[in-house]
Amino acid sequence: MGEDQTVVQLGLDTFGDRTIGTDGTPTPYPQVIRDVVAEAELADRVGVDFFGVGEHHRDDYAISAPEVVLAAIASRTERMHLGTAVTVLSSDDPVRVYEKFATLDAVSGGRAEIILGRGSFTESFPLFGFDLQHYEALFEEKIGLLHELLKEDPVTWQGALRPPLQDADVFPKTAGGIRTWVGVGGSPESVVRAARYGFPLVLAIIGGQPARFAPYVDLYHRALAQLEQPTLPVAVHSPGFIQETDELAREILWPHYKTMYDRIGRERGWPETTRDRFESEIEEGSLYVGSPETVAQKMADTIRTLGVQRFDLKYTSGPVPHEHLMTAVELYGTQVMPRVRELLAAQPVP
């Protein structure tokens, strides 16, 4: 992660959305997972820098054990870094998180990364026996323990919600440590927490104008300085979709995006989305949808505006058929990434 914005890191994220086939029927979960592995193989071939896999425990997403999927991807790829988007640390155990990712790091030849988060859904809490009343406290306590475990020395630790550890040594050790990020959705407290522990920051910008997150980037850097932490990278995670033309990208994505948005909306009390809102989010918000040139221009603008060192495009939004996702991945690597770097070289970050 150098400071040269002409070599900014460019990645892809997926939650393993349950897709539909060309006949409109839902794809079986095992096939969705195999398709994600195929998408990752293609991403590696076309030069993508990072591939992130989300963790969910609900029927519209196929991936509940991202580390297993990432290990399969590691065996079929050679260069890109592999991580979660995100690991729901609050309902996991820090020791197991360390062990799983240290193992993935070995399998992948040092390419494993963790992105920690509290998760935007809560199904994992009752599933694994955690009380949602402890939502904040669980994350705060567990991130502190994982921070100690990542040092790869024996750990003595005590908290309020998990049994203590006394001089506990955890294996396997890694060759060079595991890069660990914290994903945040816009909470100042979360931004400062990432700085306090010395973790790089991922901003999940999934709606509205990206520029509104500039104060969080500034807060993070000020917090790092005040806490006497080294300068660390900031990344952006945002949804998008790429096809050969703007019109084709919008027409393919719209019905699937609406399916996804309206389902979540029914759970959270949002009104149904409209085509006008969808178009507005593409034009002015945080949906990176269109031809390679359109998406590259918008990505470069966000990278400049926020001064970030990595951009991860979530290339799946709803049950878009696998064949369209493969096209999006290929266009991202072969056309969008080179164009973004070209644009940043011509007009660097101020």
Q: For residue range 7-58, list pLDDT tens digits in order.
A: 799 999 999 999 999 889 999 999 999 999 999 999 999 999 999 999 999 9
Q: Report the candidate in 33, 77, 27 with the shortest Cα–Cα distance to residue 53.
A: 33
Q: How confident is the model at residue 5 (pLDDT cuts 50, 70, 90)?
A: very low
Tallying the residues shown for the chain, one arrives at 350
Q: How far apart are the first and last CA of the chain?
A: 18
pLDDT digits (tens, 9 = 90+) for 178-205: 999 999 998 999 999 999 999 999 999 9
Beta strands 165-168; 201-204: pairing state: unpaired
Do residues 348 and 301 make contact, with C-beta atoms less than 8 angstroms apart?
A: no
Q: Which is it for the CA torsion 227, 231, 208, 60, positive or negative? A: negative
Tell me the one-letter amino acid at 144. Answer: G
pLDDT digits (tens, 9 = 90+) for 52-100: 999 999 999 999 999 999 999 999 999 999 999 999 999 999 999 999 9
d(CA 67, CA 73): 10
d(CA 180, CA 116): 7
pLDDT digits (tens, 9 = 90+) for 314-338: 999 999 999 999 999 999 999 999 9
Tell me the one-letter amino acid at 273. Answer: T
Residue 14 tokens, joined: 């997926």
Q: For residue 29, what is the domain's CATH number?
A: 3.20.20.30
How many domains is the chain partitioned into structurally? 1
The residue segments making up the domain with residue 224 are 5-346
Torsion of CA 256, 81, 7, 307, to 10 degrees: 60
d(CA 89, CA 68): 16
d(CA 322, CA 320): 6
